[in-house]
Chain A
Amino acid sequence: MQEATFLILTALAAGTQHGYGIISDVAEISDGRVKLLAGTLYTALDRLRADGLIGVDREEIVGNRLRRYYRLTPEGEQRLAAEAARLQAHAAAALRRLKLNLAGGAA
């Protein structure tokens, strides 16, 4: 799973969001490191919708403009949970080995 995809799903994990909301939320989650651009966001949303990981929750017209809210599907929740567990396991392994290495170096 690409990082942008992972962050988009994470943004939707807490509740429904519209496009602009996802962009701001992803920036917040990544500490301002990932700034999604519209082209990237919407090709990712299109793929996620086609794969059934997200769905359209509702549409609103705000200031004459269409605003569409997306939500995570049960399948999307499952995929995100699996991916998060995988990343966590990798991160834990990296930290464990670094600690071992430090201890070995000190001895």
Chain B
Amino acid sequence: MSEPELSSATAPASLERGYRRLLAFYPAAFRRENEEEILAVLLACAQDGQTRPGLKASADLLKGAARMRLRPPPGQPRTVFAAVRLMWAGAAAELAALITIIVTAGAVRAAVLHAAPAPVPGLPGHLIAVVAVAPIAVGVWLFLAWANSKGRDAARMASAGSFCLLTLGLLDALAQGGAAYAAADMIAVAVLWLVALGAVVLIFVPASSRYYRPPEAVLR
């Protein structure tokens, strides 16, 4: 087979920059392993005098990046990968709930003042609690997602612990019934609980367990 010499030494810098910008969409582990090699192939496939990535090659690179991002990183079981995705979803849902509360706070206060014009200066107590706790919850979701994707066994335990706290919160909300919580609050809490339940089940199935190392194995 003929072996054309890679003409990368003469490739314009703008072409290489363009390809690197597209390769930036790939997961970091994949880029570390493959970026320089793919770049060599892309430059070898380039037409003479080409100064920027072609449409077809660009679309193909973006499609590849999307496919790689839907694939678990090397060595990570699908179950752990799915659990980490669920934790991200949990963080996003928590953030969405927080934003909703902040955006609608004015209307809620007006309604409260209207119902009880006397001395109720601020938001109802439980809403203030939610606004204070939600950013922490977002952080916890993100931290657990990160730690679980690294395979820390402590992260698995912390996830189970957080799930227990969330369950207690749900039970507490149920016990108070509709007295303090609107239907929307209850639905939001229930959805978060189901997401957390899914994540916890996924990290404790046997397929996931081989991924989690005991702490001493981490210190090599």
Contacts of A41-71 to chain B: CB distance below 8 A: 41-43, 46-47, 50, 62-68
* B3 touches A (CB below 8 Å): yes
Q: Tell which of B63-71, B89-97, B145-153, B155-163 binds the partner.
A: B63-71
Q: Which residues of the partner chain B approach A43 to less than 8 Å between Cβ atoms?
A: 64, 67-68
The 8 A CB mask of B18-36 against A (1 = contact, 0 = none) is 0000000000001000101
Q: Which residues of the partner chain B approach A65 to less than 8 Å between Cβ atoms?
A: 6, 8, 36, 39-40, 43
* B164 touches A (CB below 8 Å): no
B9's nearest neighbour on chain A, judged by CB, is A63
Q: Which residues of the partner chain B approach A50 to less than 8 Å between Cβ atoms?
A: 74
A68 to B40, CA, bound (A): 10
Q: Which residues of the partner chain B approach A38 to less than 8 Å between Cβ atoms?
A: 38, 41-42, 45, 57, 60-61, 64
Shortest CB-to-CB span from B197 to chain A, Å, is 30
Q: Which of these, B37, B63, B74, contacts A67 with CB under 8 Å?
A: B37
A41's nearest neighbour on chain B, judged by CB, is B41
Q: Which of these, B9, B36, B60, contacts A40 with CB under 8 Å?
A: B60
A64 to B36, CA, bound (A): 10
Most buried by B among A21, A38, A43, A66: A38
Contact B61 A63 (CB under 8 A): no
Shortest CB-to-CB span from B24 to chain A, Å, is 13
* A24 touches B (CB below 8 Å): yes
Shortest CB-to-CB span from B26 to chain A, Å, is 9
Contact B57 A46 (CB under 8 A): no
Given contacts A64-B9, A68-B37, 8 further A-B contacts (CB under 8 A): A20-B41, A24-B4, A37-B61, A38-B42, A38-B57, A42-B38, A42-B64, A62-B40
21 contacts between A and B (CB under 8 A): A19-B38, A20-B40, A20-B41, A20-B45, A23-B45, A28-B1, A38-B42, A38-B61, A38-B64, A39-B57, A39-B63, A39-B64, A40-B63, A40-B64, A42-B34, A50-B74, A62-B6, A65-B39, A65-B40, A66-B36, A67-B37
